[in-house]
Amino acid sequence: MSKAKAKPQSQAPPKWQLVSWQKKDEQHARIPHEWRLSSLPASHVTNFIHVPRKCGILSAKEINITENYDATALAEAVRSRKLKCIDITMAFCKRAAIAHQLTNCLTEIFFTDALERAAELDAHLDAKKPPLGPLHGVPVSLKDTFKVRGYDASIGLAALCFKPAAENAVLVDNLLDAGAVLYCKTNVPQTLMALDSHNNVFGRTINPFNTAVTPGGSSGGEGALLGMRGSVLGVGTDVGGSIRIPAMCNGTFGIKPSWERIPYAGQEGGAPAAAAKMGLPASAGPLAHSMRDVDLFFRALSEQKPWKKDPDVIPLPWSTLASSGESGRKLRIGLVRRDGVIDPHPPIVRLLDEVKTKLQSAGVEVVEMDITPLFSQCQSLANAMFGVEGGNAMFDLLESANEPISPWLSTRLRRKAPLELAKTRELHGKREELRKKFLSIWNDQHGEIDAFICPVAPHPVPPVDRWNGVSYTSSFVLLDYPAGVVPVRTFEKADMEGEMAGTEALGSWDKTNRELWTNFDRSVYLGTALSVQVVAPKLEEENLVQAMSTIDKALRGNLRINAKL
Q: From the annotation, which residues make up the binding site for substrate?
A: 192, 218, 239-242
> If you ran DSSP here, which 8-state letter would residue 537 be given?
S
Q: Which of 197, 218, 219, 531 is catalytic?
A: 218
Alpha carbon distance 411, 428 (integer Å):
27
Beta bridge pairs of residue 254: 287, 485
Alpha carbon distance 470, 499 (integer Å):
22
Does the annotation mark 218 as catalytic? yes
Alpha carbon distance 296, 139 (integer Å):
13
Q: Of 282, 277, 279, 211, which is closest to residue 244 (Cα–Cα)?
A: 282
> If you ran DSSP here, which 8-state letter would residue 250 be given?
H
Does the annotation mark 242 as catalytic? yes
Task: Collect all residues with Cβ–Cβ distance below 8 Å to 353 and sequence separation of at least 6.
Answer: none
Q: Which of 23, 94, 143, 358 is catalytic?
A: 143
Binding-site annotation: residue ranges: 192, 218, 239-242
Alpha carbon distance 225, 143 (integer Å):
11
Q: 448-477 burial, b if ≥16 CB within 10 A, otherwise e? A: ebbbbbbbbbbbbbbbbebbbbbbbbbbbb
What is the SS3 assignment for 185?
strand
479 within 8 A of 442, measured Cβ to Cβ: no
Strand bridging mode 365-369 / 332-336: parallel
Q: Of 409, 403, 451, which is closest to residue 547 (Cα–Cα)?
A: 451
Alpha carbon distance 468, 244 (integer Å):
15
What is the SS3 assignment for 490?
strand
500 within 8 A of 343, measured Cβ to Cβ: yes
Q: Of 265, 320, 328, which is closest to residue 295 (Cα–Cα)?
A: 320
Does the annotation mark 143 as catalytic? yes
Alpha carbon distance 16, 93 (integer Å):
29
Alpha carbon distance 190, 409 (integer Å):
8
Q: Which of 141, 154, 242, 319 is catalytic?
A: 242
Alpha carbon distance 462, 524 (integer Å):
8
Alpha carbon distance 515, 466 (integer Å):
10
Q: Which residues are catalytic?
A: 143, 218, 242
